[in-house]
Amino acid sequence: MAYVEESSFERDMSYIPDRVLVGARSGDPLDDRFPSGSKDSPRDVKVWPVEPGRYRLVAAKACPWANRAIIVRELLGLQEVIGLGTPGPTHDAQSWTFDLDPDGLDPVLGIHWLQEAYFNRIPGYERGITVPAIVDIGSKAVVTNDFPQITHDLFFEWREHHRPDAPDLWPADLREEMEEVMQRVFTEVNNGVYRCGFAGTQQAYDDAYARLWTAMDWLEERLTARRYLMGDAITEADVRLFTTLARFDAVYHGHFKCNRNKLTEMPALWGYARDLFQTPGFGETIDFDQIKAHYYVVHTDVNPTGIVPQGPDESGWTTPHGRG
């Protein structure tokens, strides 16, 4: 996780911007993404070809941003096309580690720290070693860690390899509205809980808290009148919201002080979250023990004792949701 320490939390959204694109040739430049001479144009931005078996998705189940990619991979049926490496929930000063695997090594990449794959790509890489990351197996080098682009490209660029009944996560007729919904979900909810948790002043926290609950009330109202965020079918927008809701009562309510009320006390949102949890591709990607271990152990500034709470009771996630 990368963030800028200020009184008001701001997430560092600078990632390795390479893309895996259908029809691309390895090493082709991706100059058309940036205006000529733009100060924001990254050095050595390249495209990589869609090639089954070439890449490994490294995604810790504890991390909500990585959890998105795991879910999309499951929904689209890409399990046999793109491998999955799962670091443990806690990491040391160097980076995420594969401490859940035998000998502490990813069984395919043969590395202990994810940092090794970053350094194979950019020696001395100075930004955060984040998940999810797409890693080229042959070179053991990170291709990209741009989490919103990763799930976008899994849908649009890997279509030839989707299972026949894969959901349409980006329906053309809803895409414009969906982009607006996802932007609000990201800024106010996905990132909003972090803005509360990492606030450096009372005023920053109060402002973040107000923004979060304004958005949560908007979602509660929206989901009272429709089954999913965009209507009757699951889209990428639902994936992006779900990973925050799944962590809300277990972590964000207490650890991040997002405690106006619990998710279980919001009828529409709680029913919606259970609906998704019980949908194949969602619930099986959630590991509450890993989620709690990550936040309560790694965030020593927020929880200096490192004590991991026993609750809350998780059995409610499998109760009838009534949204069919």
Please report, in range form, the residues annotated as the binding site for glutathione: 96
194 annotated active-site: yes
The per-residue b/e assignment along 157-173, b for 16 or more CB within 10 angstroms, e otherwise, is bbeebbeeebbebbeee
Distance (Å) of CA 281 to CA 30, 73, 199, 278: 32, 8, 33, 9
Reference 321, options 282, 264, 280, 281; nearest CA is: 264
Reference 179, options 229, 131, 144; nearest CA is: 229
Rounded Cα distance, 179 and 237, in Å: 8
Spatial contact of 14 and 42, defined as CB atoms under 8 Å apart? no
Catalytic residue among 15, 194, 272, 295: 194
- Annotated binding residues: 96
Question: In the numeric block, which tokens belong to residue 142?
Answer: 């990170």
63 annotated active-site: yes
Rounded Cα distance, 302 and 305, in Å: 9
Instruction: Transcribe 205-259 into DSSP letters.
Output: HHHHHHHHHHHHHHHHHHHHS-SBTTBSS--HHHHHHHHHHHHIIIIITTTT---
Reference 20, options 176, 132, 170; nearest CA is: 132
Reference 144, options 159, 131, 127, 162; nearest CA is: 131
Rounded Cα distance, 46 and 188, in Å: 32
Catalytic residue among 15, 55, 63, 252: 63
**In this structure, what DSSP letter does residue 308 have?**
P
Residue 278 CB neighbours (<10 A): 15
As annotated, the active-site residues are: 63, 194
